[in-house]
Amino acid sequence: MAGRKRKKTTTMIIENDRRMLVLFTVVIMAIVISVGLKSVSLYRKIEVKKAEAAVLLQEKEQEEKIQAQNDDYAKEVQTLGFAEEYGRSKLGLVYPGEVVFKGN
């Protein structure tokens, strides 16, 4: 009888080992699948962020061009020639003794 108990105990240990191995395998597979799905999600987010960065870079370049144009215009506005031309065309100013002929 003592031999039978020993066999059952050995068989039970082997069955427990198999169960633990299957459980361990299932847990590891679940972790691998979870990590895989998360990495795909993160990859998609990276692609979206790259596209957003490209758009922002393009907008930045456009803003820099506009800023350069504004700087050029600001320099031009500060000249005497601009003030004279603006005064003549927009405000109708003339020098003393100057005669202005207007067409129809």
Contact (Cβ atoms closer than 8 angstroms) between residue 93 and residue 99: no
Asked whether residue 79 is domain-assigned, the answer is: yes
Asked whether residue 32 is domain-assigned, the answer is: yes
The per-residue pLDDT for range 5-27, each reduced to its tens digit, is: 555 677 777 888 888 999 999 99
Domain hosting 64: range is: 2-89
Q: Which residue has the tokens 């600001």?
A: 74
Asked whether residue 100 is domain-assigned, the answer is: no
Asked whether residue 55 is domain-assigned, the answer is: yes
Q: What does 48-97 look like in DSSP terms, one character per residue?
A: HHHHHHHHHHHHHHHHHHHHHHHHHHHHHHTSHHHHHHHHHHTS----TT
CB atoms within 10 A of CB 82: 13
Asked whether residue 68 is domain-assigned, the answer is: yes
The per-residue pLDDT for range 33-91, each reduced to its tens digit, is: 999 999 999 999 999 999 999 999 999 999 999 999 999 999 999 999 999 999 988 88
Domain count, the chain: 1
Q: What is the pTM of this model?
A: 0.52
Which pLDDT does position 14 carry in this prediction? 80
Asked whether residue 104 is domain-assigned, the answer is: no
